[in-house]
Structure formats: structure tokens, C-alpha cells
Amino acid sequence: MFNLKNIRSDFPILAKTRNNKPFIYFDNAATTQKPKVVIDKICDFYSNYNSNIQRGMYFLADKATSEYEKSREIISKFLNSNLKEEIIFTSGTTHSVNMVAFGYLKKLVSKGDEVLIGEMEHHANIVPWQVIASKLELKIIPIKCCENGKIKLDDLIKKINPKVKLLAIQHISNITGHENNIKKICSIAHKKNVRVFVDGAQAVSHKNINLQDLNCDFYSFSGHKCFGPTGVGVLFGKRELLLEMDPFFFGGNMINKVSFSESSWGQLPHKFEAGTSNIAGVIGLGASIKYLLSLGFSEIQKREGLLIEKMWAELYSNENIIIQSSAPPDSPILSFNIKKLHSYDIGSLLDEMNICVRTGQLCAQPAIKAFDVSGFIRASLCFYNTENEIEEFISSIKKIIKIL
């Protein structure tokens, strides 16, 4: 059974107060809080077997390497990748996007070719493609999205042509919480020989990800958005594509041979993991994924479904609140505005009431422009949030409306 009291006790920060009042943390789309098992796992590494990996021939190094590679196995099974070597550890989604943009895209394209990008994408899934497109003289073509933030499939189909080589899209919108049909999109793209890169940053903490079923070419996520540490993430790539792809970061550990005349790269996955990795972060990420699996995604989705239903009903029924979406989100991410009030003012007053939300442009300026707003108030929840917190949040919003 999903015991909310026990689960909340797993997260030390949820017991913290300010001015003797508890926090309400509704900024989970930006970063999630960390369970004690993750904190303890990181502390255990630094306290008991801190060493570099894949180098030393002694106990501590063997232990560190073993725990690091266990995380790769855990994540490979979690994502249902075909091979564990298809899991590359990065510093996060941004790093992963850059790796594919600068290491793989040039293998695909010629001058004048096109890259399709959803108009609702996070800046991290726009800017790297934009920069490499400028260097390679490619065209970036935006794909229209509906008011819920989903790709318009008819616009995607219309814009795929022989010059299109890659499509970059998010799995779940960081603004609306709505989910793209990645499997269908990949099917459409692959029929036209278009590769698909998926930003999964907002999906991994909320649902089971089956990469073999989705059949995307690349998939990425960040550890800090799924109850793991900051500064660590994952890039999945199909083996045959990773073999074609060039490293974009160079140094020790990723090499086969080095001489002053030339160097050659090691085998997967080490080819893409130059230097000393964020070992503690990778080990902590493995612990966070194990924690999620211990709760069970069916239970997580059931719990979050109740929170979505309650929050949506409260927001949608308030005549002073403007929601761009026409339907409740697939994940508990809800962005809105209040008539005649600026999102920053709302965020500041909510902070005084110990309520943490995100306000502003949400690292998605093209999406903000498409919605024709200056910014949003975003309340993003997860399974450890409560109905009482939602009621307190809505009550606080009503107080602010009266004040302003």
C-alpha cells in the first residue's frame, strides 16, 4: 500500500520549517527533493569506498567501479534499453542534447538540411541544435503545438521532407504537463528516415519508460528531476548510432590508444565518459531509481492522478485564473496566470507564505511567445505532496487575489 506518511518521512527536507511553518514544495518540475536512501548512498560512497573507477587494482577502486556499473544496469533495466552499453552517464539533459548535436548530427546532414523542433521545447532542447545548425548551415524548423503543448501531428507530417534529418521533442511538457505520443511520432519519423531525439526530463519521475516500445533513437533525462543528485544524467542511444557518433568531450578513460600523432577511442559506453565521472552522483542516481521502483509506478500514477484531479478542479473553477490548457495534464505540472496580475508578484507573495512555485518564462521563451503571455505561475507536484497542501495553496492564491 502507498503509505503517504511513511513516504514523506523518507524526505528529510519535508520536515523543515520556516517561522515554525512547514514548506509546501510545488516546484518538482524544476528539481525534486531527495529521499534519505539517496543521501545515505552518496554519503556511504564518500565515507567508505571513495576512489576513482575503472583504474585502480585495489579493493576501494573495485567497489566504486562495481557500484557505478550497478547503476548503469539498474537504469538500463528501468528504461528497458536493449543493452546496458547504450546507457551513457552525462551531467544532465543539457549535456546529453549537446553530445548528440555536436557528436552525431554532422554525420547525418549536408548543407541546407533541416532539423525539426517542437515550439514548446525547453531551451536546452533548442539552443544546442540552433548553434550546430548555424555551424553546419542547416535550417531549424519549428513544429506547431496545440494549446496543451502537444506536437500537432498533422503539422509534423506536413513538414517532414527529404531534407529533414532529425526531430527533437520533449516527452512531457514542462509547461502544461501533457504527454506527446512518442511511439506514434517515432513511427511517423522513421518511415521518412528521420532520427528522433527525446527530452525525457519531465517524464522519468512520473511513468514507466519502455525505450524498446517507444523506439526513439536517443532519450535523455536528468537525475535531479527524478529524486537523484544534481550534476548527473543519462543519454540513451541505440548502439549502432552511438558507434557512429563522435565523442564531443575528450580526455582520460575514454581512449583506446594515445600517441602524439593520433588517438583512438574506447568501446561503449566509455567512449563518451571522459575524465573522472560524477561517481557519487551516478551511484546516487541508481539509488533514486531503485527507490522509485520500490514505490511502483502504478501506485505513483494513481496517487498523482488524484492530485492532478484536485488541483485542476480548484484552478479551473476559479474565474480569476487563466489556464491555457483545455484538459487536465497527464503529469502533475499545471501552469496558469491570474487576471491582471504578474506571475512574479504572485510568486513573491507565495514565498512569504512558505509555498514554493516557479514563475516566469520557464526556460521556454518560444512557448511563452506562442501562448502570448509574459510568463506563468507553475505548480508542479509529485507523489509526496498532499491534498491539504493543495487546499492551502488555493486558499493562499485567493488571499493574494484579494490583496492585489
- Specify the DSSP class assigned to residue 162: T
How many distinct helices (H) and strands (E) make up the chain? 15, 17
Query: What is the distance between the alpha carbons of residues 404 and 204, in angstroms, rounded to a whole number?
Result: 38
Annotated catalytic residue: which of 146, 186, 363, 382? 363
Q: Are 364 and 123 in contact (CB under 8 A)?
A: yes
Triad 178, 303, 367: Cα angle to 5°: 20
Q: Are 286 and 70 in contact (CB under 8 A)?
A: yes
Alpha carbon separation from 131 to 99, 122, 127, 137, 140 (Å, rounded): 13, 15, 6, 10, 10
Residue 291 three-state SS? helix
Cell 564531443, residue located: 248
Given the DSSP bridges, would you call strands 218-222 and 233-237 parallel, antiparallel or unpaired? antiparallel
Q: What distance in Å separates the CA atoms of residue 10 and residue 66, rounded to the nearest whole number? A: 26
Side-chain half-sphere exposure of 5, counting CA atoms within 13 A: 0
Catalytic, 382? Answer no
Instruction: Find the angle CA(398)-CA(402)-CA(403) to the nearest 5 degrees.
Output: 115
Helix, strand or coil, per DSSP, at residue 133: helix
Q: Are 117 and 144 in contact (CB under 8 A)?
A: no
Give the C-alpha separation, 266 to 272, whole Å: 9
Distance CA 50, CA 58 (A): 12
Positions annotated as catalytic residues are 363
